Amino acid sequence: MNIQIQSVSMTYPGGKAALREVSLSLGSPCLIGLLGPNGAGKSTLMKLMTAALLPTGGEIRIDGQPLSKAEKALKQRLGYLPQSFGLYDELRVYQFLDYMAALKGISPARAAVERAMEAVNLSDLRKKKIRTLSGGQRQRVGIAQALLGDPELLIFDEPTVGLDPEERIRMRNLFASLAREKLVILSTHIIDDVQSVCGQLAVINRGKILFSGSPEALTARARGHVGVWLGEPGEDCPLTVTSQTHTADGVLCRGVAGELPGFVRPAEPALEDAYIWMMQEGSV
């Protein structure tokens, strides 16, 4: 499966330009991370990809077909976790998934529901009412419904919100294994979610794609812009601090800047440095 996003713009009825001339090429199998701060346009882009919204400019093509013409076919190949996902609080986990399977026209539903619950480790909670679940458990129910019917395109909008560290790692592994065969797109503002698992990253800010490519290529963008130094960063620190570590010698700071000041020691960039650097660069 192949998704071509061609100069897509989205201006909401109130006049807010959420996306401006966004172009991206996505092809399976791959795990693609859409990375950007709140308000960047991630959810808008995902809604456009699922045909839940129509762009005000440009076009999206799925396997060469305009999405506007292939919408029905797409829905059968798609699993989608929206950012705000209403769950039916009074239903039990398996009842909810059964219901979602019916809406998707999956039959027999039973095996599909079992597989989806197993994938997100919900089988033991199957009889629990959704109302009684923790935030992370609810999020897993949301992920499970997207997996129903084994769709070849999976779009997860901030799937790791509310998950504890252990659940996060489990989800990350699940996404990576799904992406061996499918096109899996996830949005996040957390670098850890995409570090080491995504084959492709797209960085978005203020409705524009700032970068698209491999994590290594993104990291390389910050080369020469990352430095470390010992001491507390002051008010007038010329670098944007990306981390502070307490060591036996004092606080070891790490930061990014266009030009490194003399007091820092240049360092190899990490993905997080590159992301912060890109946000800073993109805003000038």
CB of 62 to Mg ion, least distance (A): 22
Q: Which of 212, 230, 229 is nearest to 221 (CA)?
A: 212
The answer to whether 79 touches 146, Cβ cutoff 8 Å, is: yes
Number of residues interacting with Mg ion: please give it, by CB under 5 A. Answer: 3
Q: Is the bond preceding residue 108 a cis peptide, omega within 30 degrees?
A: yes
Residue 12 contacts ligand ADP per CB under 6 A: yes
* Residue closer to ligand ADP (CB basis): 4 or 187: 187
Candidates 36-44, 128-136, 164-172, 272-280; binding stretch for ligand ADP (CB under 6 A): 36-44
Cis check for the bond before 29: say yes or no (omega within 30 of 0): yes
b/e sequence 182-214, b meaning 16+ C-beta within 10 Å = bbbbbbbeebebbbebbebbbbbbbbebbbbee
Task: Say if residues 171 and 190 touch (Cβ distance below 8 Å).
Answer: no
Q: Which of Mg ion, ligand ADP, none is residue 41 near (CB under 5 to 8 Å by kind)?
A: ligand ADP
Q: Should residue 177 be labelled a site residue for Mg ion when binding is judged by CB under 5 A?
A: no
CB of 8 to ligand ADP, least distance (A): 12
What span, in angstroms and rounded, lies between the C-alpha atoms of 159 and 180?
18
Q: Which is nearer to ligand ADP, 81 or 119 (CB)?
A: 81
39 is a contact residue toward ligand ADP (CB under 6 A): yes
| Tokens describing residue 89 | 């609080």
Residue nearest to Mg ion (CB): 43
Q: Pattern of binders to Mg ion over 133-152, x per CB under 5 A?
A: --------------------
Site for Mg ion in 219-238 (CB under 5 A): none
Q: What is the largest CA-CA distance in the chain?
A: 67
Which residues of the chain form contacts with Mg ion (CB under 5 A)?
A: 42-43, 83
Which residues of the chain form contacts with ligand ADP (CB under 6 A)?
A: 12, 14, 16, 18, 36, 38-44
